[in-house]
Amino acid sequence: MNRREFLQCAAIMVSGLTASQLGIALTEEQRVYLASAPNYNTTDVDYLSEEQRQILAAMCEVIIPKSDSPGAIDAGVPHFIELMAADWFSDEERGIFDAGMADIEQRIPQEYGNRFDLLPPSDQLEILEALEEDASDHPWYEFGNVQRDFISDAPFICQLKELTIWGFFTSERGSKEALRYNPMPMTFDGNIPLGPNDSSWAGGF
């Protein structure tokens, strides 16, 4: 919904309808009127080579694979990470990321005989697990260490995991299909049953 449409809604509002009546009259789009803002993940970026993109996508998918719900690739996570690498990382973080990508690009074909994204899933998992093993003493893994912006010296694998998980659960498909999404619940109930397979609510950072 654009600004003009929103103003029309606002006009209904000041004409005396109470907003809860209005809430019911509004469409989903209208209620979430910032729907007019572009999805961040649709922004263009040109940071990685085509080959690196394939590799990055494969790595993200090992972290959050497609199952009965979408995986990292479905949710646009590889593109999100490319955007973050280009626009958000500090020089230090970007250096670690670039070196990590270069390492996978060059070392893996030598050790496994093929590019990361063309290897069988078991090899891909083994490679990332080995990276995690090497990094396992880093404070990034410390219990409760999530209330911070980013850890600038975090190893490549930690960068990858943090941005994959963040990117996935804040994406539209991750929020709506792996989590539950409802921006306008209208009521509060503090005690509803939670089934064994029910997921958390999305959103509201």
Partner 1 sequence: MANIIDTTNYDFDAIVVGSGISGGWAAKELTEKGLNVLVLDRGKPLEHSVDYTGEHAPDWKFPFQGKKPRELYKEEYPIQSRVSHSFNEANRHFWNNDKDNPYVNDPDKPFMWARADVVGGRSLLWGRQTYRFSEQDFKANATDGHGIPWPVEYDDIAPWYSYVEKFIGVNGRNEGLPQLPDGEFQKPMPWYALEETIGERLKKKMPNVTLTNGRAAILTEDLPGRSACHYCGPCPRGCSTGSYFSSQSSTLPAAKATGRMTVVANALVDRLEHDPETGKISAVHVIDTQTRERRSYSARVFFLCASTVATTQVLMNSTSAVFPNGLANSNGVLGKYMMDHPLGTMNLGVFLDDMDSYYSGRRPTGLYIPRFRNVGEQDQDADFLRGYGYQTFVARLDWSARFNSKGFGSKLKNDLRKPGQWLWALAYFSECLPSESNQMKLSNKVDRFGIPQVAFDFTWGKNELAIRADAEKQADSIMKAAGAVLSLPASEGMSMPGEGIHEMGTARMGDDPNQAVLNKYNQAHDVANLFVTDGSFMTSSSCVNPSLTYMAFTARAVDYAVKQLAEGHI
- Tell me: does residue 65 bind partner 1 (CB under 8 A): yes
Report the residue number, 48 or 163, with the smaller CB distance to partner 1: 163
- Is 118 strand, coil or helix? helix
Distance CA(183)–CA(13), nearest Å, equals: 20
- Helix, strand or coil, per DSSP, at residue 147: coil
Are the C-beta atoms of 155 and 149 separated by less than 8 Å? Answer: no
Among 2, 110, 122, 191, binds partner 1 (CB under 8 A): 191
Q: Does 15 bind partner 1 (CB under 8 A)?
A: no
Q: How far is the CB of 37 from partner 1 (least distance, A)?
A: 4
Q: Which two tokens stand for residue 39?
A: 């999805």
Q: Which DSSP helix (H) or strand (E) runs through 161?
A: helix 156-169
Is 79 a binding residue for partner 1 by CB under 8 A? The answer is: no
Query: Which residue from 8, 95, 136, 153 is in contact with partner 1, where contact means CB under 8 A?
Result: 136
User: Site size for partner 1, by CB under 8 A?
Assistant: 84
Does 125 contact partner 1 by CB under 8 A? yes
State which residue, 50 or 194, has the beta carbon closest to partner 1.
194
- Work out the angle at residue 149's Cα, subtended by the Cα atoms of residues 92 and 83, and round it to the nearest 5 degrees: 60
Q: Is there binding between residue 37 and partner 1 (CB under 8 A)? A: yes
Residue from 19, 25, 102, 130 touching partner 1 (CB under 8 A): that is 19
**DSSP secondary-structure letter at 88?**
T
